[in-house]
């Protein structure tokens, strides 16, 4: 299934492909070669876009707020205690997932609850694995509070290639585990901040999938 964020790009590429195919039949000589090269490029971009904007259905069979599901597909690149300065302003356990251009880029809600904060920040475009990308890059912050009072922060971070973050959350909104949280176009990262003492169930460099892999339990 193609994600809604890619449908306009898909339409443009299909339209370009049709026009180029028509043009190849109308001209000859050097222009024919140019059009064939353009046709090959558009076809490559179409295949890449289908791969990048894929959005597999992954419903969570049984909602369980004692488990924190991965909000993104990718590689776990950070597991550490750190100070979260924007919202909690205290020590938290950070788990970061790096999304390469080959990963699914739909972001998902890791726990059920109510959105306490949804905020967009302009910023730089450092590579997503840079230590300062969490605080200096373009990003959005979403805080979800569970019914029993626990809070989790998910930060979507743009990378050196990613230039557009979509976040579907709004403050006061009730959300369910597994729903779509947002989408980041091209290479990017998701940081999750958890209470100290939360049991992390993944390891560094482990590949995880949103709505499938449990990254922590409390």
Distance CA 158, CA 138 (A): 5
Strand residue runs (E) in the chain:
67-69, 74-84, 90-99, 106-108, 113-121, 139-145, 151-158, 165-167, 174-175, 180-184, 188-194, 199-200, 207-208, 214-217
C-alpha separations of 108 from 3, 33, 85, 209 in Å: 13, 44, 23, 10
Q: CA–CA separation, 47 vs 213, rounded Å?
A: 27
Helix or strand or coil: residue 5?
helix
In 3D, which of 217, 144, 213, 209 has the Cα closest to residue 176? 144
In sign, the C-alpha dihedral spanning 98, 101, 104, 106 is positive
188 in active site: yes
User: Is residue 80 classed as helix, strand or coil in its secondary structure?
Assistant: strand
Catalytic residue among 96, 118, 133, 188: 188
d(CA 174, CA 1): 26
Q: Which residues are catalytic?
A: 188
């Amino acid at each position: 299934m193609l994600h809604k964020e890619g449908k306009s790009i898909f339409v443009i590429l299909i339209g370009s492909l049709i026009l180029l195919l028509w043009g190849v039949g109308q001209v000859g000589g050097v222009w024919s070669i140019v059009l064939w090269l353009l046709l090959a490029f558009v076809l490559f971009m179409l295949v890449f876009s289908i791969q990048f904007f894929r959005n597999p259905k992954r419903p969570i069979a049984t909602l369980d707020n004692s488990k924190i599901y991965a909000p993104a597909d990718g590689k776990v690149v950070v597991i550490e205690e750190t100070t979260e300065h924007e919202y909690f302003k205290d020590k938290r356990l950070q788990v970061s997932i790096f999304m390469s251009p080959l990963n699914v880029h739909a972001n998902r809600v890791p726990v059920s609850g109510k959105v306490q904060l949804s905020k967009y920040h302009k910023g730089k475009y450092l590579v997503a694995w840079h230590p300062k990308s969490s605080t200096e890059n373009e990003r959005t912050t979403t805080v979800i509070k569970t019914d029993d009072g626990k809070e989790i922060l998910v930060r979507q971070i743009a990378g050196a290639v990613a230039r557009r973050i979509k976040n579907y959350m709004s403050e006061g909104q009730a959300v369910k585990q597994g729903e779509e949280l947002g989408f980041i176009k091209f290479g990017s990262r998701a940081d999750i901040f958890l209470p100290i003492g939360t049991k992390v169930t993944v390891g560094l460099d482990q590949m995880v999938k949103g709505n499938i892999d449990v990254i922590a339990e409390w």
